[in-house]
Structure 1
Amino acid sequence: MIRFSLTCDQAHDFDAWFSSGADFDRQAEAGFVSCPHCGSSVVSKRLMAPSVATARSREAHQQLAMDVQRGEVIAKLRDMVKTIKENAEDVGERFPEEARKIHYGEADQRGLIGKASPEEARALIDEGIEIAPLPVLPDDVN
């Protein structure tokens, strides 16, 4: 659909929507286009600036799309973290010790969450113990 700025022979300005320029021409010739102010069917198109997508408008549309996608990803991550926390034992600061016990068969296999310093985490990984940090999501730090 195309919006045309129109004017009648009585100098009334108005807008109307048409499927194409040819559609406007056909309807105007048949007398189907009339001024909403005075009813005149002598109507012509006014000079219009084309609607051009600027870099700024493209950026705004892209940002909106990214915000929607970002929200969906964050919601999925939030669900994942919730499931992990519901199905794991929180051992707090004892995480490195408990992870080693499980890895070396000194404790039963189970899901763990807890805290480890960067050095402790590197040491666990170097020992072949599989660990992964839980993501910190927006609103989790407020």
Structure 2
Amino acid sequence: MKVLNLQCASGHAFEGWFGSEDDYQSQQSRGLLTCPMCGLAEVLRMPSAPRLNLSGARTPLASVPSAPASPTPVAGSRSRPEAAARHSQAPQTPESAQAEAILLQAMRHVLANTEDVGAHFAEEARRIHHGEIEHRNIRGETTPIEAQALRDEGIDVFHLPIPDGLKGPLQ
């Protein structure tokens, strides 16, 4: 099992778990690696400290080679120098990491405490608002025009873009 530190072009840092280096390269080349925060497929592998199992080590710690100092490029990254440039100019600060964590926690709370009604959102919201069905917290999909029509009717709605990584089960 390989655990890699990854980062998207927007600067979101996350971990990826892969069965092998070939598995990682295969997923990267097929465009299957996306940022769980924003969904971007421009994902770079970042430097990471190796995991050392020293329980039975006979060599002194000083002779263990250190991790490379520069990021390892991924397949296709040479054809996109602008993505690498964006990575170097958008480091994630502790404040932005904390803000992302709070946002993800809020999104998980919304997902856990609402019912997904999908494309029937506007219809269900109206039925709840007019008392035709029992009140419950819902989420779903609607067009901007339908959302504005709901607001005009006095129904509170807001747009919350949910990253693809949160839509399915997280591990």
Q: What is the TM-score of this pair, normalised by structure 1?
A: 0.49
Q: Which has the higher contact order (CA 8 A, sep 6+)?
A: 2
